[in-house]
Amino acid sequence: AGHVYTLEQSIQNDSILYCGTATAGVWKSINKGENWILVTSDELINSVVALEINPQNDNVVYFGASNKLYKTTDGGINWNTIGDVTFNNEDHYIADLRINPNDSSVFFVCSDKGFFRSTDGGNNFTEILDGDFQEIEFNPTNSNIIYTIKQIGDATQFFKSIDGGLSFTQIITGWPIPATGDEQKR
């Protein structure tokens, strides 16, 4: 028995699925989930909660585990850790990954060390925001609009980018704001 933390389906071929598990690595199905193959048996990894399939090439898949970011370009046969020295010097818990649906070289990572952006498929990263980030979503009709969630203790903050993830603004209206001062004591 194993817990599945993330499941992604190829946009190019709906028969191809990948899932990340609590203790058993990354698994792949090529027949819509009827059968599964462990594709990380040669990797020493712990739980996989973040996984992303390249929307233009389903042989390119990323996942975060064991404080590293992994990539395959051959459908899971071989995996390599990626990221520049500065990115890899952080002890990341990677919570979410997203590839720009219109430009697969633009890649985003949410980790407990920040919100990161790559323009070369994950070889190099720029930290856009500092903090513990949990999720990334693209606006379904405009990939320049990106949303992310930052965790601060038991509270969360909602951020929006309108420039493809180069900068973000915290959205305060329409989002619960944590209580401060006397309100926290109630």
* pLDDT score of 184: 43
Nearest 5°: CA angle at 61, between 109 and 86?
40
d(CA 30, CA 14): 9
* pLDDT score of 177: 66
d(CA 135, CA 181): 28
Q: What is the mean pLDDT of each run of 10 residues along the chain (186 residues)?
A: 89 97 95 97 92 97 96 97 96 96 96 98 97 97 97 94 97 75 44
* pLDDT score of 176: 74
Asked if 31 and 15 count as a contact pair (C-beta separation under 8 A), the reply is yes
